[in-house]
Amino acid sequence: MYLAAHPVAYPLLRGLARCGPVVRVPGVGVVVNDASCARSVLMDGETFRKDGPGSPGDLWTPVLGPSVLLNMEGEAHRALRRRLTELFTPGYAEALVDDVLAVPLQAVSRRLASGETVDVVAMMRVMAGAVISRVIGLETASENDFRSLFEAGERIVSMVSLRTRRLSPAQIARARAVLDPLGDIAAKAYADGSPSTVMGRMRTLGLSETEARGAAAAFFLTGTETVATLVPRLIALLHDTSRAVSGDASHRPGGFADGPERPFGGAHEAADFLDRAIDEAMRATTPTPVMLRSVHAETRIADVPVRPGDRVLIATHNCCRAYGPFDPSRPQPPELRRLWFGAGPHFCLGYPLAMAEIRTVTRTLLAAGPLTITRRQAARGVLIPTYRRLHIKRGPEEGPR
């Protein structure tokens, strides 16, 4: 799947994994292939920053502005993050997702129960679009609108490849043409100030309108594709390894036609397995294949010296894949834990929302089992490797995988 998305860059990235935990690559920067080294870089927000040359700031500041967490450091970043800490608590995230997705997920369950085929990729585009619509404050309930919103974000993210350092003026203009109207909508929801909306909660938490607009744009860019691409790949991994758990009240085993015939100990064990499976799928697929930092002080990463102005490319995918194939039964070591969401001062603020969405959708699909995959195709020309289509159906397998 990575080869379909990045036929040239991916073999080069994987080749670098054989060069050692940290390696300097001319024209690329200092590449980090080791999870412990990567975590030490991410934890040091003073030396390794997101607002210098070769960092994410070079990519996104011209599009999002200077104050959106993605490109901030120091006290300004800490102050903004403190005000946003309570935005997506686990309880709030779960309630938001349940409210937004209850009706569409019921429809998916009915389709599977009646024997219809469901394209998990197309379904997740709508689901992710619906959730981010609620976050931004869009007043829409149309599947076409949700799908269009997701596709707009996909077009922006697809401008970036594993080799991109900066967006061109034309690319910046295209991105702003999408994001500016969404910022206006977010600003309206902010002005209304309802505590029932995410934008209204930002006002309550003390953010300015400009900060709220920037946060909405950042959530839009980072909060759709990660979830939408992960769920189809998680379903495929569970299917292919015959490891699944049913989410229904009977706690029946399986979830797939060829799933394990083993009962779980109850709801707690089922929920624990699902969370471990989600974490393991994220490790194996690595929705954030690389992370960028700019060096601001002379130091070393492992045995490699780095200087101010150096670009550090954390090969998250190499760090994660070093621990072997997908296996939810294997504990993840501390240095690896949720590395794909970052670490330290820039750990993903939307993590509870992403997990709530993935957990809710996956639980619904598995509860509709036994399921089988009847068709799949990898996507090409995308930043985050994913499927172009993944068809599932209740019952025994009838078509090619």
Per DSSP, the three-state class of 377 is strand
- Domain contains 169: yes
Q: Which tens digit of pLDDT belongs to each residue from 110-166? A: 999 999 999 999 999 999 999 988 888 887 668 888 888 888 888 887 777 666 777
Q: What is the pTM of this model?
A: 0.87
CA atoms of 210 and 65, how far apart (whole Å): 9
Query: How many domains are there within the chain?
Result: 1
CA atoms of 301 and 52, how far apart (whole Å): 18
Query: Tokens 């009977």, residue?
Result: 250
CA atoms of 54 and 162, how far apart (whole Å): 13
Strands 311-314 and 29-32: parallel
DSSP 332: P
Closest CA to 315 of 292, 284, 283, 348: 292
Query: Tokens 């981010």, residue?
Result: 132
Residue 166: other Cβ atoms inside 10 A: 13
Q: On the CB side of 371, how many CA atoms lie within 13 Å of its CA?
A: 35
Q: What backbone torsions phi and psi does residue 304 show, to the nearest 5 degrees?
A: -100, 120
CA atoms of 217 and 187, how far apart (whole Å): 11
Q: What is the CATH number of the domain that holds 284?
A: 1.10.630.10
Name the burial class of residue 28, with classes exposed (0-12), middle (13-18) and buried (19+) by CB atoms within 10 angstroms of its CB.
middle
- DSSP string for residues in 109-160: HHHHHTT--EEHHHHHHHHHHHHHHHHHT-----HHHHHHHHHHHHHHHTT-
pLDDT score for 253 = 36
- Domain contains 400: no
- Domain contains 313: yes
CA atoms of 371 and 359, how far apart (whole Å): 17
- pLDDT beneath 50, residues of the chain: 243-254, 257-266, 399-401
- DSSP string for residues in 41-65: HHH-TTTEESSSTTSHHHHHHHHH-
pLDDT score for 398 = 52
Domain interval for residue 298: 2-394
Tokens found for residue 386: 């994913």
With beta carbons less than 8 A apart as the criterion, state whether 32 and 313 touch. yes
- Domain contains 399: no
Tokens found for residue 141: 């309930």
Per DSSP, the three-state class of 253 is strand
CA atoms of 370 and 389, how far apart (whole Å): 20
Which amino acid is residue 264, in one-letter code? Answer: F
pLDDT score for 94 = 95
Tokens found for residue 243: 């490891």
Which amino acid is residue 19, in one-letter code? Answer: C
Tokens found for residue 81: 């993050």
